A and B are shown apart, each in its own frame.
Chain A
């Protein structure tokens, strides 16, 4: 059974940093594309970042501030978020992609990140 469990969310001041983690199990973690999708309160879904064997990708609004990475020895996906802004406030979902594409067949429960002074 595929499971994705996020952790690391919380309240942070503008300009601060936070690292989200996503512990994955039930599939061959190294083989699949992984991503982060966020949802601001009352809003729609926004793809944030993805990682594959070809490298990493980001939406323009987080480029230079967020870094996606994976630790294959721990089956864990990360999102390091620096220089946080109030508009980054959202529920962040970790999601499993397919072998070659960034559509998502399994999602974590979400981690709430609140950026506020």
Chain B
């Protein structure tokens, strides 16, 4: 199975900061990587698919990069609505389609 490891697990930042979350796969997944945002008590929301493609309706301050085993999610200028938990997920064409353990982004 492919294991996904996110870092950091927790990140404290301020409004307007640029933040980057890293996701590493235990073996190459090409660009089969998605990023989700989840707020307490709600379902996850898709932000990015295929490593760098922005889902429709997602603000352009979110961006994704990487391929192979190392990926990043960057928020260029944090807004109040961005404080949440972020998950990566690999969907390389064989299950299980594992998620990372999550990165909680909170207000400094």
Contacts and interface: CB of A to CB of B under 8 A. Distances in A.
B67 to A, nearest CB: 15
Contacts of A32: none
B46 interface: yes
Contacts of B102: 44-45
Contacts, number: 61
A35 B45 CA distance: 15
A98 B91 CA distance: 11
Interface stretch (B15-23, B69-77, B93-101): B93-101
Q: Give the interface residue-count category, chain A.
A: 20 to 34
Interface residues of B, number: 23
B43 A44 contact: no
Contacts of B43: 93, 107-110
A45 B96 contact: no
Interface string A44-60: 11110010000001111
B55 interface: yes
B32 A47 contact: no
Contacts of A37: 44, 99
Interface of B: 1, 32, 34, 36, 38, 43-46, 49, 55, 87, 89, 91, 93, 95-102
Given A44-B100, A101-B91, 4 more contacts: A59-B95, A59-B96, A103-B32, A107-B45
Interface of A: 35, 37, 44-47, 50, 57-60, 93, 98, 101-105, 107-110
